[in-house]
Amino acid sequence: MSSKEWKKCKLGDICIINMGQSPKSEFYNSKGEGLPFLQGNRTFGFMYPDFDTYTTQITKTAEPMDVIMSVRAPVGELNIVSNKVCIGRGVCSIKIKNGQQKFLYYFMKHYISHLINQGNGTVFGSVNKNDISNLEVLLPPIETQEKIARVLSSLDDKIELNNKINQNLEQQAQAIFKSWFVDFEPFGGKMPEDWKVGNLYEIANVTMGQSPDGKSYNENGYGEVFYQGRAEFGSRYPTRRLYTTEPKRMANAGDILMSVRAPVGDINVALEKCCIGRGLASISSRDNFNSFILYTLMNLKRSFDIYNAEGTVFGAINKDSLNSIEVIIPTKEEIYKFEEIVSNLDKMIRQNTIEVQKLQKIRDTLLPKLMSGEIDVSKVEV
């Protein structure tokens, strides 16, 4: 269908926009009483939100399949709700009047940058109902909306499936680690006598990050991939954003990346060789037991919390403190048995993640071209 049949209009003409209103906090609960409540985008997921707060005082609501959007910094985060929820002042709901609701989700993804540019929606600001209503858009006929939604959601469905598989694989790995090295279940519930409590430096190499000259930073792919701190961290692997032509400290693919400035102790894994800034440390096994080191560090979260506690003077951890963190050191024979099982799970997580990145690149390339009519959706096969 020709893009000439698309209609230029304002978002407020084609959508119902419902700005959130927060109930009084005394009505909040975590017991599931009342409706699920979203104050902002804190519990937004890949496409659908999670809920840890409920409210018995109902103010503004979003209905099933409504698109919800964060209207306070960071503006423009998008999700879809599966059930009726109460929305607070950091969120709005959007429903298309005569159109395809799943399409609206992708439609808004495309126009978020336009919305931020025309309003006050900087990373520090907010957008109001007028900003959203006055957004100028180009709307395709409903048949085209349905086709576009089918193409893009087929990619997102596969991405979401891979993410869920990865979560399950990681949970399996963590459960095995806890069984063997925390609860000692295969060893009668007690730490074997030939194991010991030692320090991290005995089993791992620690490299503290060092930031290159800011003039060397770029987003165009020149030089080495660069991670300054945890800002680019994902659920397991960081996302490329910056590069540097003057790298200082490097991490290798498979090394564990840990935030060493508040919040201390967040963990990711390097998917590729990269430069690390002063907000990160790179940690690798002395004996090529990286899966064991990874889950050891994940299990040390409480040990790092002292550096994040309110009122402390820390807010960071140095190399000496990190090296001296106490860890359980089993025999190499037992670690090897663990690696034989868990490293295969980690390889599967890595493969799924690489596939997700490829699918995201395809989706993000298609999105603006489909929304502008540059690509005829009827000719796209996924």
Say if CB 42 and CB 3 are below 8 A apart: no
**Tell me, what's the pLDDT at 123?**
47
In the chain, the number of structural domains is 2
Give me the half-sphere count of Cα atoms (radius 13 Å) on the Cβ side of residue 64: 2
Kindly report the CATH number assigned to the domain that includes residue 75: 3.90.220.20
Q: Record the tokens describing residue 147, joined without a space.
A: 């086709």
**Residues in CB range of 275: below 8 A, 6 or more apart:** 212, 223, 224, 225, 226, 227, 244, 247, 248, 249, 250, 251
Q: For 241-309, give the DSSP string.
A: -EEESS--EEE-TT-EEEE-BSSTT-EEE-SS-EEE-TTEEEEEETTS-HHHHHHHHHHTHHHHHTTTS
Element (H, E) at 9: strand 7-10
Q: What does the pLDDT read at residue 315? A: 79
Half-sphere exposure of 25 (CA within 13 A, CB side): 1
How remote is the C-alpha of 39 from its chain's centroid? 19
Write down the pLDDT at residue 262. 83
Say if residue 178 is exposed, middle or buried (CB neighbours under 10 Å; 0-12, 13-18, 19+).
middle
Same domain, 133 and 200: no
Same structural domain for residues 40 and 126? yes
Q: Which of 161, 110, 160 is nearest to 137 (CA)?
A: 110
| Full domain range(s) for residue 62 | 7-139
Check whether the bond before 49 is cis (ω within 30° of 0): no
**Which of the listed residues 94, 123, 139 is the one where a domain comes to its end?**
139
Mean pLDDT of each 10-residue bin along the chain, 382 residues long: 79 97 96 96 93 97 97 93 97 95 96 79 74 95 95 96 97 98 97 97 98 95 96 93 97 97 94 97 97 97 80 76 96 97 98 96 95 85 69
SS3 84: coil
In a domain, 265, yes or no: yes
| 211 in the same domain as 312 | yes
171 inside domain: no
Same domain, 134 and 235: no
Query: Cβ(284)–Cβ(293) under 8 Å?
Result: yes
β-pair type (28-29, 60-62): unpaired
Task: Supply the pTM of this predicted model.
Answer: 0.86
Quote the pLDDT of residue 345.
98
| Claim to verify: residue 130 and residue 200 sit in the same structural domain | no
